[in-house]
Structure 1
Amino acid sequence: MDIFRHRLIGLPALALLISVAGCSSADDSATVAVPSPDAKTAGMCRELHEVLPKKLDGRSRNDPGPRSAYTAGWGSPAIILRCGVVRPPKMIDPEVARGADPNAIGGGVNGVDWLMEKQDDGTWRFTTAKREAYVQLILPKELSGQADSARVLAEMAASVKKAIPTGIASMT
C-alpha cells in the first residue's frame, strides 16, 4: 500500500512539472523595461507611438510586453523602440564627442541625429540627440551592419521628426 501511495503522489508532481514547462515560452517575444517620462515627454512619446511605421526594415510591428505607448517593436528578433529614456551618460562624454570611443559615435540620418553605441552583446543602441525627448532604438545582432543600421534609422526618421521636435531634452 505504501508503494501505491508514493506513485500517486509522484503523478501529480509530474503533471505539475509538465504543465509549468508547457507554459514557458520558447519564442522570441521581447520584454522591455518601460520608461517613465515626465508629462511633457510622455505627450511627445504618445504622439510618436501614433505615427510609428507598421513595418520597419520589412519587419511587421510586434510590440513587446508589457504593452505601453512608450515602447514598440518590429519582427523577431525584435527591433525595439523606447521613448522617454534618460539621457545616456556617453551623450555628454567629451571622449565620445572627439570620436575617441569606437563603441560610441555620433551621426545623423535623414535629419535625425543619433548617439550610436555598440553593446557588449553585439547589438547596437541608437539614441536621438538634439530632440526634446530621447528616443532609443535597439537593433538585434542580425542587423549590426552599417547598411542595416542606416536603413532602419532612415525609415524611422520621418516618425521621429513628426513627433519629437528639435531642441534640448530634459536632463533626465
Structure 2
Amino acid sequence: MRATLRLTALAVLALGLLTGCSQTVPLTPATDAANPECAEVTTRLPEYVAELGQRDTNAQATSAWGSPADVLLYCGVAVPDPTASLTCVTVDGIDWLRDPEDDPNFTFITYGRDPAIAVVVNSENVSGSTALTDLSAAVSIIPSERACVTPDEILEGGSPVDAPTETETETP
C-alpha cells in the first residue's frame, strides 16, 4: 500500500512538473491577427528559436519560445509608417524596425510587409539576430512591398541627406 502511495505521489509530482513546464503563455492578439496570412505564418513557425522550445499561447497568431518566454511573436500588428525613425536592420532579406524603448526587451517589427509581425526578444538572454534568423523562413511567407533605404540611396547630389551614422539602415 505504501509503495502504491509513493508511486501515485511521484506520478502526480511528475505530472505537475510537466504541466508546470508547459504552461500556456498569456498574450493579447494583435488587431489584424485574424488575417489569413498570419495563419500561414503561424503554421510555419519553427519548434525552436535560439535553441528555446516553442510554447503554447492563448491568443491567435502569436507564439512564444523559452521558459520563461524570452521570444514572443505577434502577427497582425499595425503596419509601421514609412517615415518611421527607428533603426532598420535586415536579416535574411527581411527588413525589421528595431525599437529599444523597452530595454532589455527589443521589439522588432517587419517593415514593408502587410500584415506586420512583431517579435519581442529579451536581449539579456537571446540574441535578436539569432531569433530573427530562426523566424525568417516563416515570416518570408508575407510578401515584401517596401524596403528600408540604405545610406547610399539617401544621397542626393553627392551629399548625405539625413544619412544614418550607423552601419544599419534607416527607413525612408
TM-score normalized with structure 1 length: 0.64
RMSD: 2.4
Instruction: Tell me the CA shift for residue 121 of structure 1.
Output: 4.3
Greater mean deviation of Cα atoms: 109-118 or 135-144: 135-144
> What residue number does 2:73 align with?
81
Is 1:48 equivalent to 2:41 in the alignment?
yes
Q: Which amino acid aligns with 1:87?
A: V
> Conserved in 2, the CA contact under 8 Å of 1:106 and 1:114?
yes
Aligned residues: 125
Unmatched 5+ residue regions in structure 1? 1-25, 97-103
What CA distance in whole angstroms lies between the structure 1 residues aligned with 2:135 and 2:72? 12
2:124 is the alignment partner of 1:164: no
1:133 Cα deviation (Å)?
1.5
Give the distance between the partners of 1:59 and 1:141, measured in 2 at CA.
14
Residues 118-129 of structure 1: pairs in structure 2 closer than 5 A = 118-129=100-111
- Structure with bigger helix share is 1
Contact 1:35 1:82 in 2 (8 A): yes
Question: Deviation at 1:57?
Answer: 0.7
Distance 1:114 1:143 in 2: 20
1:58 to 1:130, Cα distance in 2 relative to 1, 3 A:
same
CA distance in 1, matches of 2:105, 2:123: 5
Identical positions, percent:
26
Q: 1:58-104 deviations in whole A, cap 9, x for unaligned?
A: 1111032x242x10111123110000011346x523xx2xxxxxxx3
Paired with 1:38 and 1:85, the residues of 2 have a C-alpha distance of 7
What's 2:149 paired with? none
Query: Structure 1 residue runs of 4+, over 4 Å off?
Result: 26-29
Q: Retained in 1: the 8 A contact 2:33–2:77? A: no
Q: SS in structure 2 opposite 1:143? A: coil
- In structure 1, the partner of 2:88 is 106
**Which residue of structure 2 aligns with residue 152 of structure 1?**
131
8 Å contact from structure 1 (residues 51, 159) kept in 2: yes
Structure number with greater Rg is 1
Q: Compared with structure 1, are the counterparts of its residues 38 and 157 closer, same or farther at alpha carbon in structure 2 (3 Å cutoff)?
A: closer
Taking structure 2 as the reference length, the TM-score comes to 0.64
